[in-house]
Structure formats: structure tokens, C-alpha cells
Structure 1
Amino acid sequence: MTTPKLSTQETYDLDRAHVFHSWSAQGSLDPMVVTRAQGTRLWDGDDNEYLDFTGQLVFTNIGHQHPRVVEAIQEQAATLCTIGPSNANDRRSQLASMISDLLPDNLNKVFFTNGGTEANEHAVRMARESTGRRKLLSAYRSYHGATAQSIHLTGEQRRFANDKGASEVVHFFGPFLYRSEFFAESPEQECERALAHLERTIQMESPDAFAALVLEPVIGSAGIIPPPAGYLEGVREICDRYGIVFIADEVMAGFGRTGKWFGHQHADVVPDLITFAKGVNSGYVPLGGVVISDAIAGHFDERAYPGGLTYSGHPLACAAGVETIATMKDEGIVDNARRIGEDVLGPGLAKLAETHGIVGDARGVGVFWALELVEDAETKKPATEAAATVAAAAKKNGLLVIAAGNRLHIVPPCTVSDDEISTALSILDEALGSLG
């Protein structure tokens, strides 16, 4: 006999009594109780229906409850729920091969983790072990996780309370023309000056000391900022010049989110290590990992890698990953994300920016977009409270988006339809208009 299900009120009351939430002051929380979800939609405890354009934490790339993935998890649970990572299991082997097949021939090994922050921790460890160096580079506008090393790699303000100043991380400014640190007037200038700044930072911090540079190919949590053309290629060249391992943090941008399998594939670059999570199986079961170049993997052929995880390559998580990738290929889901971004969502958000003066910038790629809200178009002063107000107004009309500082992040599943985008844009238009 299974344990009885809770009512909506019981769920809420027990959450508030016993669940400690992340990144939050606990006393003021009022979480929405979600009872079911399907595709791009979810329902709360009062049976209100919402278009989910949050991706939750930007991970439901294949949408909620995709039947193929749900069935794959059920079948795996009936066969082999779990097994220790020292054993081979068929789904882990298959998923590692499928991920490698999405990448160039020199990226053949995959180390599985439970999520993205662990992936970044282990990628850094691999870089340090294989180079014999310690220092790390990461951008100020970035998020790489919240464990001991990854929170120091993180460049935005969530780092501050956790920063003890002994992380061996050096931060630099990446390109962001809308709020340029380099007084640039064009994407070309921004790219050139950002690369010069990066190289000068390396030179002033002892080039021989750096093990790795960790970079999101498309910045995610800190603003959804695609890089200008040529920037990733320039970073690759600089890393090669100084013998620095290039780690591409694809945790948020990977597996279709940008309209390609990986965000770095919009440029002509091959990273040394690639971290992933989220979209690899749409978060149906926690999973992350590191894709490892042959050169770095070879370093550990005759010496033990000093790290491991109890649930590395968990069969249920990997079964979900195998079926997610197979389904994305069969249903053309990655190409749908590209087309939606280019033909529907991008133009629609650009029109909102033209219509509403509070929208200072609309930017993104694929199904990975942000609206930046400002009090004044000339000064670009952030409208710090407006995003939460707009998100709340949109929610009342059945649309969930992310409010992050003065930004709205619009990140629907890669499976989203033209009609659903049209509905969401209409709701956003009304919500922005309500600001007056």
C-alpha cells in the first residue's frame, strides 16, 4: 500500500514547516504548489493553468512529462533502479557515447555527476591535475554553481556572501555591448577590447599560474548575454597561447537551448572540457557531467583521478538522458528552438522593446532570451522593481517568466509552438503596458 497523497493545503503547510529553500529569506516565502505538468504547461493547487516559460531553472528543454522519457524511466526502474559507479550499466555507456557523438572526435570521455555545480568542480580539478597549475579565470557576469569552488567561480552578486578571498580565482569582464565596460560603440569594438582586457589580465596575474578559464558560451543566470562574433574564437586562441584549459560551462546553454546542441557550437571552437546538466534529460532525474578531451583524459590513464561520486551515471538519470537525446533528434526539437528564436520569439520580443520604453534591451538566441528593464533609455538605469511587477502581472494572466534583478528571462521549452509564443507575447505586452 502506497503512502496517501497530500492535499494542496497539506503540501503547502508541510513545505513551510519543514523545507528549507535555496537563495531565499525563509520567513517571507509563499511557494506555489504545483500538482501536475504537461508539455509547456503546469497547474497549481487551485487548478489554475500556466504557460511555463521559466524552464523551471532553465532545464525543461524537452517540456514537462514527455511520454517517451517518462516511459524510459519507468522501464529502467523495473529493470535496474540503481547500481554503484564502479560497475558498467547499459544506459550510462549508451548516454556517454551519444553525448560524445554530438561533439568533435577529440572529445570522447564523459564523467557523470549529479548536477552542474559538481560538473564544474570536477572540471576544475581535472584541469588543475593535468596542468599542475592552480589559478582560474572566470567572468564577472557568470554563474557556475554554489559549492565551495563553483561559488567562487561565479561572478555575480550571489558570490559575495560566500567569498572568502582564497579561491585562486581571477575574474574578468566579458563582452556586453549594452553595458560595455570598454566604451565600445560596436560589437566589433566590444569583442576586440574584451579580448585585449582578458589577455592583459592574464599577463598581470602570472600566465604560467593559470590552470583553466571557465566560461559560459552564452551567459545564463547573469543576464542571458550571447557573445559577439569572434569572441569565443579569441578566447580559444588566448588559452592556447598560454597553455590554459578552456572549460565551456554548457550547464544552461547546452542540449538545444540556444538552437544548437551546445552554445559554443555557434562559434568555430572546440573546448578542452565541457560541463553539462539541466537539458541533458530536462531535469527529469538529477544528472550532470564533464565531457573530457582525449589529451586531458589521457593524463589519467596511468594515474588515478582523485575524485568520484556515489551516483555517478545513475541508471535512472542516464535512461532519461538517452531517451531525451533520441527524442530531440527524432522530433527535430533542437531545430525548432533555432527557428522559434529566429522567426518568432526574437522578432516578437524586439517588437515589445520598440513598443514599451521601459524595455532597454531584448537579447538572446534560440529559446534563451531576456528583456532588460530600465528607468531611462539614455542612462540605462536599471528598473529594479519593475521585473517582479511584470512577472506577477503575467502570472495572473497565465504566463510564468523569471524575474531576475531588472530583467525578465523568457525561456520556454525547446518544444514550444508558434501559437504558444504568440500567446505569451500578448500576455507580456499587456503586463508591460500595465506599468503605465
Structure 2
Amino acid sequence: MDNYARLMNKDTVKAADRAHVFHSWSAQELIDPLAVAGAEGSYFWDYDGNRYLDFSSALVYTNIGYQHPKVVAAIQEQAAKLCTLAPGFAVDVRSEAARLIAERTPGDLDKIFFTNGGAEAVENAVRMARVHTGRPKVLSAYRSYHGATSGAINLTGDARRFGNDSATAGVVHFWGPFLYRSPFHATTEAEECERALRHLEDTVVFEGPASIAAVVLEPVVGAAGVLVPPPGYLAGVREICDRHGIVLVLDEVMVGFGRTGAWFAADHWEVVPDLLTFAKGVNSGYLPLGGVAISPAIAETFARRPYPGGLTYSGHVLACAAAVATLGVMAEEGVVEQSARTGAELLGPGLAELAERHPCVGEVRGMGTFWALELVRDPATREPLVPYAASGAAAAPMAAFAEACKKGGLWPLTAGNRLHVAPPCTVSAEDVARGLEILDGALAVADAHMA
């Protein structure tokens, strides 16, 4: 261990990374990953002692922050007792994790199928819907992200689909509501909602309702924009699905477990799906875990008919122990309530103030500890600060903005022409204030790139 610790300095970590690690979504020779030495709470730091306030929650999953002592202790305790066991056995922590998750999910979604992450959860939800209905097609929104496995990436609507889309997965995309860039020429939330639902209904009709197994929808769109639906939209989608016998799958992988200020985003609109996918915040990403919460009707389909799917690590014992501890921490410490207060009292008003001072901010939107700033070149025309799916020189204004954040000590999450603001749900008021101050300076850099 001493020799390992001696070797693990910035230079050796970087050298090993560059020699052996293949990174996601990257041209390997054009990236320079930061070597991280440690993390705690809302911060991580490098080997040079630079501390970064993490406004990305890693990839929007450290909902309770880094290294929560109760979750770390639970993992250690479980590792000493039993590290792993095949998924076919009944194990105390697996059963308890399923019970606690089912207790929090909307309605009567009381059966839990465990996966290793969000993409696998989506894959299995779609499989369940297709087997349950006997239908092949699945509908999903253009502005969406559902994962990078073969089926999930076809469901995805954003530009990450382009290099992977086989166009053979039985997926049909539709436009969801987004008033700021309305595809329906709406001028009010009510118009946007009505026209988006009409568009979805038309899509269902022209695709053939009897051929559609499921509509897969993020209740609050995550990676593709932090888009909060207008009142009535999710209920309208639920009604369309009910009328045509279509399974409604809500993808809560990014927005579940307190991120929006509720246990699940669907709770804000009191809509109960047939299937709900989760991951990320279920154990704050301390170990890989995801899953599908299943309605009684779909569970009954597989009561005497084998479910045609499974995973070696389904309900991994250590991951489930982390989930049990995380859910306990969230309840004991009022993490969901804190996320709601932080959004309503600190992030929402604070980001709105920044928008008033910086003309590059076209719109502020979000809830809980999940927000986005839409950065534009011209607030009148709403032209994005960088083009859709921009790379290289075309993406330089956003790269300069992100670099200004990092120099100030804040780690940002940028996507396209947007800043996503997603600190841990446990972030302190002092750290929110510090983050907003750093963003104030960085947005001046973005202002300089306006037309």
C-alpha cells in the first residue's frame, strides 16, 4: 500500500490514464483529464491543492455529496459481511433496498428489477413494455437522453445519437414542450402544452396506436436541457397512453431521489407511470446501481411467464447496501426538502439575478437543485451562443466560459449552449453563494462572445 501511495501522484496518475484509459464521448488524443486526488461534500480537489466546488454533482448523481460517512461505513460493513452473491438469491440488503425504493416511488410501483445503471434500466423497461403489449414501436422525444447502450441510444433524441443510430430499433421521435424554443410557435405555456399534446396524439395516430408499445419520457428533461414541462403535459401524456393501451415509461434516472425537490419528479404533477427507471441518486453513485419500478399489471405479465432478461450483477450486494444507507441519510437529514428549499430560495432567485446582469443569459429554468442557463448570442433572436452539436472552434465561446468557471474554483456542467447547475442536493447556502459569485465572473466572459 505504501508503494502504491508513493506512486499515485499527479504525474503517474496522468501518465497511466493517458496510456490505458479510454474515455467516453471523446477524441482520445484531444483531451486532458484532470487528475483528482480526493473529494468530500460538495468539493473535489487535484494534486496541486486546487479545490473545485462541484456544480455538476459528478454526472448529476452525487445527490448527498461525496464521501458521506454513513454510506461509506455501510459499504465497509457490508464488504466485511458479504461482498457479492448471484441475483437469484434472496439477500437482506437487496430486499431492503427494493422495499425502500418501492416505498418512495409514485403509486403502486412495488416491484423492483435491479440493473447496473440507467441505460440498462431503460433497455429493460422497453423490453418489458414490448413483451407486455406484444407491440414493437417505442416513442421518445427529440430533446432527450436515455443512455448509450444500443437500444437506449436509439431512444435518445439529442446529438449523441448521431454516431450510433441504427434506425432499426423501432423508435419514433416526437417534439416535447419547450416554450423558449417552441417547435409549435406557441406564445404561452398553455398553448405549448395543448399543441405538444396534439402533436403527440397525431404521431400516435399516424404511427398506428396498435403498433406502439411505449412512450418513454423524462418528466423533467435532463441532459438535453433541464426542461420543466408545462402544467397538464404529463397528465395529458398519461391520458393518451391510457386511451391507446400504451405503456408510459418515465425515465427518472437523472431527476429521481431529490434532484428536483421531490423524491421523484413525477410527484410534482401526481402522475403515476407504468414503469419508472432510476439510477444515479439511488445511492449517490457510490456504486453502480439502477433499476425499473414496475406496475402490478406489468408484473402480472411475468407472474407465470419467464421474463426474458437478466444481469449478472442485478441487485449487487454492495450497491444495494449503499442504496439502503443513502435512502436512510436522505430521510434522516431531510435532503429532499433541502433540495426544494435551495431551489426556491437560493438557486432560482440567484440565477435570475445573474440573468438580469448578463445579456448572454436568454433563459433560466429549473427546480430543486437542477437548473439551466440558456446562453445566447442575441437575446432578441435567441440565437444560441454556439450552434447545435458544435465542436472545435465553433464551440470556443462555451469552452472559454467553462474555463473561466474552473479558474474561479467551480466545476461546471456545460452542454451545447447551456450551463446546467446541479450541485449536490445537500449543498450549503454558503457554497451556493460562492458558486453564484464565480458564475457572475464567468458569465462576463460569455457576454464578450455575443454578436
Matched, 1:175 2:186: no
- Cα distance in 2 between the residues matched to 1:410 and 1:400: 10
User: SS state of the match for residue 137, structure 1?
Assistant: strand
The SS at the match of 1:311 is coil
In 2, the alpha carbon distance for the partners of 1:106 and 1:175 equals 28
Equivalent residue letter for 1:272: D
1:66 aligned to 2:87?
A: no
Cα distance in 1 for partners of 2:417, 2:323 equals: 34
Q: 1:408-435: CA deviations, max 9, x gaps?
A: 1110000011111111001100111234
Residue 162 of structure 1: SS of its match in structure 2?
coil
Partner of 2:413: 402
Deviations 1:13-43 (A, max 9, x none): 0100111001001111100011100000111
Among 305, 308, 311, the alignment partner of 1:306 is: 308
Give SS of 2:383's match.
Answer: coil
3-state SS, counterpart of residue 266 of structure 2: helix
CA distance in 2, matches of 1:151, 1:45: 35
Structure 1 residue 45, shift from structure 2 partner: 1.7
Q: Structure 1 residue 425 and structure 2 residue 436: aligned?
A: yes
Q: Does 1:390 align with 2:401?
A: yes
Partner of 2:392: none
Match of 2:391 in 1: none
CA distance in 2, matches of 1:78, 1:57: 29
Q: What are the Cα deviations for residues 305-353 of structure 1, in whole angstroms up to 9, with x where unaligned? A: 0000000000100000001011000000100000000111011111111
> Which region of structure 1 is more displaced relative to structure 2, 382-391 or 341-350?
382-391
Q: 2:129 aligns with which of 116, 120, 127?
A: 127
TM-score (norm 1): 0.99
Deviation at 1:107, TM superposition (A): 1.1
Could you tell me which of 56, 59, 63 is aligned with 1:57? 59
Tell me the distance in 2 between the aligned counterparts of 1:387 and 1:233.
36
Partner of 2:359: 357
Partner Cα distance (2:329, 2:52) in 1: 24
What secondary structure is seen at the aligned counterpart in 1 of 2:39?
strand
Deviations 1:98-118 (A, max 9, x none): 011113452110000000000
CA contact (8 A) 2:400 2:445 kept: no
Matched residue, 2:285: 283
Q: 1: distance between equivalents of 2:3 and 2:96? A: 35
Task: Give me the whole-angstrom Cα distance separating, in 1, the residues matched to 2:427 and 2:442.
Answer: 21
Write the distance in 2 (CA, Å) between the matches of 1:287 and 1:361: 34
Deviation at 1:10, TM superposition (A): 0.4
RMSD between superposed Cα atoms in Å: 1.0
Alignment counterpart, residue 202 of structure 1, candidates 204, 209, 221 = 204
- Aligned pairs for 1:30-429 within 5 A: 30-384=32-386, 385=395, 386-429=397-440
AA aligned opposite 1:394: C
Query: Match of 1:46, SS?
Result: coil
Give the conservation status (yes or no) of the 8 Å contact 2:106–2:264.
no
Q: What is the TM-score when the length of structure 2 is the normalising length?
A: 0.95
CA pair 239-3 structure 1, distance change in 2 beyond 3 A: farther
Q: CA deviation at 1:2?
A: 7.5
**Conservation of the 8 A alpha-carbon contact between 2:106 and 2:267:** no
* Distance apart, 1:170 and its partner CA: 0.5
* Alpha carbons of structure 1 residues 279 and 79: separation in structure 2 relative to 1, 3 Å: same
Is the Cα–Cα contact under 8 Å of residues 115 and 290 in structure 2 kept in the other structure?
yes
Long gaps (5+) in structure 1: none
How big is each residue's C-alpha offset from its partner over 1:76-99, in whole Å with a ceiling of 9 and x where there is no partner? 000000000011111110010001
Identity %: 60
Q: Matched residues in 2 for 1:62 and 1:387: separation?
A: 28
8 Å contact kept, 2:38–2:46: yes
Provide, for residues 113-143 of structure 1, a one-character-per-residue CA deviation record: whole Å limited to 9, x for no partner.
0000000000000000111011000000000
Distance 1:99 1:3 in 2: 42
Distance 1:131 1:404 in 2: 36
SS in 1 for 2:150: coil
SS in 2 for 1:10: helix
Provide the residue aligned with 1:25 in structure 2.
27
Between the two proteins, the alignment pairs up a number of residues equal to 436
Instruction: Quote the offset at 1:268 in angstroms.
Output: 2.0
